[in-house]
Amino acid sequence: MTKFALGKFALGISDRSGFQYKLNDMKLEWTGLLVGADEWEKKQPQLDPRRHVTDPQALKDARPNSPMVLSVYVGVPNVADDGRWKPMNCFGQVGQVTVITT
């Protein structure tokens, strides 16, 4: 097995700035750079990939909607038998239309 020197007097050059530091005081960054302790930056959380969460697309035991009544009341001018305009009230539902004149 290979032994390395302790290096208590060894110096190293920072990969980022080129400054000289004690080798024992240098840190290895997440980018693989060997930098001085004052230059070291931790990895930002935004750089990690986010979890891929999918939304469910189908419903279990889905049933069709119950009949929904859609009511629309509209006042429309209508020509009476004598040629004058009179209001006409309309009521409608999906699937059928009922017209009631007053």
Task: Look at residue 100 and tell me if it is in a domain.
Answer: yes
Determine what percent of the chain is predicted with pLDDT higher than 70.
Answer: 66
Task: Look at residue 75 and tell me if it is in a domain.
Answer: yes
Tell whether the model's pLDDT for residue 14 goes beyond 90: yes
- What is the per-residue pLDDT across 15-56, written as a single tens digit (0 to 9) for each? 999 999 999 899 999 999 999 999 999 988 888 888 877 777
Average per-residue pLDDT for the chain:
76
For residues 79 and 12, what is the distance between their CA atoms, to the nearest angstrom?
A: 99
- For the chain, the domain total comes to 2
For residues 70 and 94, what is the distance between their CA atoms, to the nearest angstrom?
A: 6
Task: Look at residue 50 and tell me if it is in a domain.
Answer: no
| pTM for the whole structure | 0.44
Task: Look at residue 36 and tell me if it is in a domain.
Answer: yes
Domain span at 82:
69-102
Which residue type occupies 28?
L
Task: Look at residue 96 and tell me if it is in a domain.
Answer: yes
Q: What is the pLDDT of residue 57?
A: 77
Task: Look at residue 64 and tell me if it is in a domain.
Answer: no
Task: Look at residue 20 and tell me if it is in a domain.
Answer: yes
Beta strands in the chain, from DSSP E residues, in sequence order:
11-13, 20-22, 27-28, 34-35, 73-79, 85-93, 96-99
Residue with the bigger pLDDT between 65 and 46: it is 46
Which residues does 33 contact at the CB level (< 8 Å), separation at least 6?
Answer: 14, 15, 16
Task: Look at residue 102 and tell me if it is in a domain.
Answer: yes
